[in-house]
């Protein structure tokens, strides 16, 4: 009965090694999130919290893993805790889970599986980021504000766009106070082509405003 209640003595060297490895892995995750994350929130402040969460999880798992009594006590303690702060972005939730997973793995002394898993996760995210960046290099949102001057204005603007750009994806049309707003998703990476397109639109239509926007700057883009 005494062995069931009293936890075994922990090895200081083993605990220190697990904490150090957890810190290194969590710093890698935090650095990746801060520099390459797509969240609109303050990534630096959130990244600063990831190593703290990882070390806390590692310490908790290290303490309770070898004692059933402590494990049951932790379950009871957590049952009265209420977390009311909502995670606003899916990416934040993803990195929170990664930080907790590192803490669980290192606290359970599964060093190699944890390190390999984190390396694979970082490699996968890096490859996805590079592929998405290459795919979106020439993609832009184009907003054209033009004064309404006839029933065929929409078709005329479309024809002008297709003279300069091969791929044009129409997204939205709004009409207000005599101004027609047209939104397109275009594929063009040549600045000279974009300049020629702007000049053609201004020459043939009563354009009041033209704007280009990268998909990374659009919510959900």
For 128-175, the pLDDT digits (tens) are 878 766 555 567 888 899 988 777 888 889 899 888 888 788 888 888
pLDDT the model gives residue 65:
78
Domain containing 175 equals 139-217
Assess whether 125 and 213 both reside in one domain: no
pLDDT the model gives residue 191:
79
pLDDT the model gives residue 31:
93
Assess whether 190 and 143 both reside in one domain: yes
Domain end: 85, 107, 135, which one?
135
Assess whether 76 and 93 both reside in one domain: yes
Assess whether 65 and 111 both reside in one domain: yes
| Range 176-199 average pLDDT | 84
Structure tokens at 90: 């899916």
Per-residue confidence band for 78, with pLDDT thresholds at 50, 70 and 90 = low
pTM beyond 0.85: no
Assess whether 25 and 123 both reside in one domain: yes
Question: Which CATH number covers residue 146?
Answer: 3.30.70.260
pLDDT the model gives residue 1:
45
Q: In what order do the strands lie in the sheet with 207-213?
A: 168-176, 179-187, 139-147, 207-213
Least trusted range by pLDDT, from 18-22, 82-86, 155-159, 175-179: 82-86
Q: Shortest CA distance to 30 belongs to which of 105, 109, 89, 118?
A: 118
* Total domains in the fold of the chain: 2
End-to-end CA distance of the chain: 59
Assess whether 149 and 125 both reside in one domain: no
Distances in whole angstroms, Cα of residue 217 to Cα of each of 49, 120, 190, 220: 25, 28, 20, 9
| Range 107-122 average pLDDT | 93
Per-residue confidence band for 195, with pLDDT thresholds at 50, 70 and 90 = confident
- Our CA angle for 121, 129, 122, nearest 5°, is 15
Per-residue confidence band for 219, with pLDDT thresholds at 50, 70 and 90 = very low
What integer best gives the mean pLDDT of the chain? 81
Per-residue confidence band for 75, with pLDDT thresholds at 50, 70 and 90 = low
| Range 16-34 average pLDDT | 94
Residues in the chain: 221
Assess whether 61 and 121 both reside in one domain: yes
pLDDT the model gives residue 74:
63
Assess whether 15 and 108 both reside in one domain: yes
Cα separation, 60 vs 38, in Å, equals: 30
Percent of the chain with pLDDT over 90: 24
Per-residue confidence band for 25, with pLDDT thresholds at 50, 70 and 90 = very high
């Amino acid at each position: 009965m005494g062995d069931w209640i009293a936890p075994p003595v922990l090895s200081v060297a083993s605990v220190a090694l697990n904490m150090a490895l957890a810190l290194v892995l969590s710093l890698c995750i935090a650095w990746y999130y801060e520099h390459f994350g797509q969240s609109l929130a303050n990534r630096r402040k959130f990244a600063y919290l990831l190593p703290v969460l990882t070390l806390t999880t590692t310490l908790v798992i290290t303490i309770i893993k070898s004692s059933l009594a402590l494990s049951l006590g932790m379950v009871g303690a957590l049952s009265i805790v209420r977390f009311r702060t909502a995670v606003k972005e899916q990416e934040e939730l993803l990195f929170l889970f990664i930080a907790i997973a590192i803490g669980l793995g290192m606290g359970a002394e599964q060093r190699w599986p944890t390190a390999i898993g984190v390396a694979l996760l970082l490699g996968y995210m890096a490859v996805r980021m590079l592929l998405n960046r290459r795919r979106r290099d020439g993609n832009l949102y184009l907003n054209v504000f033009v004064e309404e001057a006839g029933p065929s204005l929409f078709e005329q603007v479309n024809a002008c766009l297709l003279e300069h750009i091969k791929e044009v994806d129409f997204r939205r049309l709004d009409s207000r106070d005599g101004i027609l707003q047209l939104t397109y998703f275009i594929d063009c990476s040549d600045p000279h082509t974009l300049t020629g397109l702007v000049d053609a639109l201004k020459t043939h239509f009563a354009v009041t405003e033209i704007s280009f926007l990268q998909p990374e700057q659009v919510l959900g883009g």
